[in-house]
């Protein structure tokens, strides 16, 4: 089956969301990256909940984000810390946003996706988890700072 570019884009977007959720779950449960990744790919991608079908995720993107987020976590966390104001160390950030910054940081380190795409995608994910518009603006500012540090040549 050949996928349209629009379908591929949606699957990559879904993979980013699933990676954020999986990284959150890992932190909360202490599960390994392999166990959580397998659970998401086997049971969450394309799952149906109350007649709502979840988007199928791009497995390659999902696995790459998960592996890089785990393998480069210290580097990503330091990058995120530098982007946060001094009063807000990473440990004080909501665990969902911490997972989001790790997934976004992993994609930035890959350096294949334009920074504006990464920022837009993850700000949209933040909007899905947040009840007001302050957190997406905060996420945008942090990710913009991170992207300028990691990929200055792309601005």
Alpha-carbon distance of 84 to 111, in angstroms, equals 21
- pTM of structure: 0.92
Q: What is the model's pLDDT at position 86?
A: 60
Residue 33 lies in a domain: yes
Question: Going residue by residue through the chain (155 aa), what tens digit of pLDDT does each one get?
Answer: 789 999 999 999 999 999 999 999 999 999 999 999 999 999 999 888 888 888 899 999 999 999 999 999 999 999 999 998 766 777 778 899 999 999 999 999 998 999 999 999 999 999 998 878 888 999 999 999 999 999 999 99
List the helix and strand counts (H, then E) for the chain: 7, 2
Note the pLDDT tens digit of each residue in 80-107: 999 987 667 777 788 999 999 999 999 9
Number of domains in the chain: 1
Among 78, 76, 100, 90, CA closest to 22: 100
DSSP code of residue 43: I
Residue 155 lies in a domain: no
In a domain, 36, yes or no: yes
Q: What CATH number is associated with residue 120?
A: 1.10.940.10
Domain hosting 103: range is 5-150
Q: In whole angstroms, what is the distance from residue 110 CA to residue 121 CA?
A: 15
């Amino acid at each position: 089956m050949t996928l349209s570019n629009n379908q591929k884009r949606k699957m990559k977007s879904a993979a980013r969301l699933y990676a954020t959720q999986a990284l959150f779950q890992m932190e909360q449960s202490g599960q390994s990256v392999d166990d959580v990744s397998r659970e998401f790919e086997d049971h969450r991608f394309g799952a149906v909940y109350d007649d709502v079908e979840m988007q199928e995720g791009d497995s390659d993107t999902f696995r790459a984000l998960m592996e890089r987020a785990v393998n480069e976590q210290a580097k990503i966390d330091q990058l995120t810390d530098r982007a946060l104001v001094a009063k807000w160390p990473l440990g004080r950030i909501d665990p969902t946003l911490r997972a989001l910054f790790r997934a976004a940081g992993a994609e930035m380190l890959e350096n294949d996706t334009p920074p504006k795409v990464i920022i837009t995608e993850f700000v949209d994910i933040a909007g899905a988890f947040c009840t007001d518009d302050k957190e997406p603006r905060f996420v945008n500012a942090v990710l913009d700072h991170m992207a300028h540090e990691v990929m200055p040549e792309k601005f």
